[in-house]
Structure 1
Amino acid sequence: MGRKVIITCAVTGAIHTPTMSPHLPLTPAQIAEQAIEAAEAGAAILHLHARDPVDGRPSADPVLFMQFLPQIKAATNAVINITSGGSTKMTLEERLAPPLMAKPEMASLNMGSMNFSIHPAAKKIKNWVHEWEKPYVEGTEDTIFRNTFRDISRILQELGEGCGTKFEFECYDVGHLYNLASFVDAGLIKPPFLIQTIFGILGGIGPDPDNVAFMRQTANRLFGNDYQWSVLGAGRHQMPLATYGAIMGANVRVGLEDSLFLGRGELAKTNAEQVRKIRRILEELSLQIATPDEARALLGLKGAQAVAF
C-alpha cells in the first residue's frame, strides 16, 4: 500500500457514437477541453483519438490531431498517448499517420487481430443522430480488427525505434500476452513497458474477476518485473474491475472511450468525472496517484520536450 497508481484517461475513442451520449467529445475544442480537465483531475496519461467535427465519426486525419495536441500539451504536463489502433474501418497506413506525424511519448498498440464488436448496442437505439452511426455499429458484427505479427513489427520499428515512442500494449485476451512475449523475446520490445489488459469487449476476454487474476498471473509468468500492469473494464465493468485490479497491484484506465457512464443509469458528463471517481476510490484504498513525471519515470518515456507538436 502507498504505491503510485497511474491513471490513464481515454477521452473519446472510436467505439461510441454521438447518439449514445451527448457528452462524448467530438470536435478538437471539445477533445482538448475534456483532456485538459481530465489531466487536472489526476490523469497522468491521456489516450487520444480524433473525430470528424461535422458528424463525429472516427478520423485518422493528422490535421485534426494537430488542432488539439499542441493545446493539450501547452495546458498540462500529462503524457500524451496517441492511438495506433484508430478504428476497425481504417487501414494501417491511416492509423499510423497521426502518431508518425506527432512522434508522441506513447501510442497504443493492439497486440493481435480480433473480432471487435459492439453490434448488440444497435438494438437499443431507435433514433440515430447521424446516418453513418447505425451501419457503423451494426457492421461491427462482421468486422475484424487487423494487427498481424508483421503489422505489429512495422509499428514497433517505424513508431517505436524510429520516433522513440513507447507503447500502451493493449491485450484483449490471454493470447495477446503471448504475442507480446514473442516480441520481447525477439528484442523488439524492451522494459519497462505498460500492459493494458482489457476486459468486457465482445470478441475478447470476459469481465470476470477470475480473468483479471489469470491475466495478471500469466503476465507475471511471462514478464516478471519488467512491466507495469493496467486494467480497463469496458462499459458497466469500468469502475468495479479498475478497483479490483488496483487492489491486486494494477494501474487503471477510465474515460468515455471505455464507458459512457459514471454509475448505474447515469451518463458521465465529462471524462474528468470518471477520473475523479476512480481517484477517490484509489485514495480510499490508501493508494497514491502518480504524477505525469512519475509515470514517465516508471515507463522510461522520452519526455514531452522530444515530441513533434
Structure 2
Amino acid sequence: MPLHPNREVFITCAVTGAGDTTGRSDKVPVTPAEIAASAVEAARAGAAVAHIHVRDPDTGKPSRDPALYRDVVERVAAYGVDVVLNLTAGMGGDLVLGSAEQPLPLSVDGTDMVGAEERLLHIAELRPEICTLDCGSMNFGEGDYVMTNTPAMLKAMAVRIRELGVRPEIEVFDSGHLVLAKWLKAQGLIDDPVMLQLCMGIPWGAPDDIQTLMAMVANLPPDWTFSAFSIGRNQLPYAAMAILAGGNVRVGLEDNIWLDKGVLATNGALVERAIKIAEAMGSRILSPADVRERLKLERRW
C-alpha cells in the first residue's frame, strides 16, 4: 500500500481521561478549574480540539456529573481562547463482574450502567461541537471490567446525538468496532462528514503495530476523516504513524503521562512535541477554524 501522508493535520489533546493516572503524575488535571486550564494550555500550544472527561474533584475518580462538565466548559469559554470542545459520552457503560468464579452479582465498585439518555445528559445540556461514541464493547485490563456498548445502545445514542446536532467522534478500539461504525452509517444514523478515532494499543483491542494500523486504515471509507493514537511510550511515535497513514493526531495525558524518559509531561508539552513532529514531516497544523470548516461544525462558545 503506498503511503499518502497527511499534509494538513489537526491535533486533538485528550486532557485527563478516566484512567488511574492521577496517582502517578501530579500534572494530570482533576478539578474543573485544572481541566479547563489544561485544555486552554493545549489550545495555546496548537491543539485544535480538546477532548474532555471530568473527575470528582475530591477523589480524582472519573465522573459523568453534568454540573462538572458545565463548569469546565464555562471556564474554557471565559479564557477567550478558541478551541473545539469534544466531550466524552463514554461514561455509563462500565460493567465489572463479581469474580471469575462468581460473576454475579456485579461488583458495585466500578459498575456504572445507565441508559442512552442518561449517558448523554451533559451533551443535551451543553451541545458541544463534538462528542464521542465508543463503537463497541471490549475487555479492559486484566480483571473483570468490560466496556459495554451494545448495538442497540449505539443505535439509541447515535439517534440522540444526531437529534442534538452534535458531531460524533466514533471511537474504534478494534476492527469489529469499525464494522459497527459502518453499520450505523448505512442506517443513516451518522451524518457526513464522518469523524473517526482509531484507538490503538489498548489491551485487549487492536495492537499498535504498523500492520494493524494500516489494515484498519485500508478498511476506512475514503471520505471519512480519522485520527489515530496509541498509549504510553508509543503515543509520540504514533504522531508520525498517524500522519504517514493519512490521518490526524491525538496526544494528551489521558493516554500518556511521559514527555521523555523520567520526565512527566503536561498537555501543552505533548501538543508542542506533536506539532514539532508534524511540521518536521512537512505538514501544516490546522486551526480550530480549519477543523470547523472541514467537519462542518458550528462554534458554540
- Scaled by the length of structure 2, the TM-score of the pair is 0.88
Deviations, residues 191-228 of structure 1 (Å, cap 9, x unaligned): 21111001111111111111111110011xxx222x11
- Cα deviation for residue 66 of structure 1 reads 1.4
SS at match of 2:112: coil
1:235 aligned partner: 232
Tell me, yes or no, if the aligned pair for 2:15 and 2:254 is still in contact at 8 Å.
Answer: yes
CA RMSD of aligned residues (A): 1.5
1:91 matches 2:87: no
Which among 31, 34, 53 is matched to residue 35 of structure 2?
31
Matches of 1:113 and 1:174, distance apart in 2: 12
Match of 2:209 in 1: 208
Q: CA deviation at 1:107?
A: 0.2
User: What aligned pairs does 1:66-145 form with structure 2 within 5 A after superposition?
Assistant: 66-75=70-79, 76-86=81-91, 88=94, 89-93=111-115, 94-117=118-141, 119=142, 141-145=143-147
Distance in 2 (CA, whole Å) between partners of 1:2 and 1:81 is 22
Residues 29-48 of structure 1, C-alpha deviations (whole Å, 9 max, x = no match): 11011000100111111100
- After superposition, give the CA deviation of every residue in 1:37-64 in whole Å (9 maximum; x if it has no partner): 1001111111001111111010111111
What are structure 1's unaligned runs of at least 5 residues?
120-140
Native 8 Å contact 2:6 2:247 kept in 1: no
CA shift at 1:260, angstroms? 0.9
Matching residue within 200, 219, 222 for 1:224: 222
Could you say which residue in structure 2 is the equivalent of 1:148? 150
Tell whether 2:57 aligns with 1:53.
yes
Separation of aligned partners in 2, 1:228 and 1:244: 16
The alpha carbon displacement at 1:304 in A equals 1.9
After TM superposition, the structure 1 stretch with the greater mean CA deviation from structure 2, 22-31 or 83-92, is: 83-92
How far the C-alpha of 1:2 sits from its partner, in A, is 7.6
Distance 2:242 2:129 in 1: 25
Residue equivalent to 1:11: 15
User: 3-state DSSP class of the match of 1:229?
Assistant: strand
Unpaired segments ≥5 residues, structure 2:
95-110
Task: Report how many aligned residue pairs link the two structures.
Answer: 277
* Greater helix proportion: 1
Distance in 1, matches of 2:165 and 2:174, equals 27
Residue type matched to 1:224 in 2? Answer: P
- Output the CA distance in 2 between the equivalents of 1:59 and 1:37: 22
Any idea what SS the aligned residue of 1:19 has?
Answer: coil
Sequence identity (%): 37
Cα distance in 2 for partners of 1:159, 1:248 equals 29
TM-score, normalised via structure 1 length: 0.86
1:20 alignment partner, SS class: coil
Which whole-Å CA distance do the structure 2 matches of 1:248 and 1:206 have between them? 16
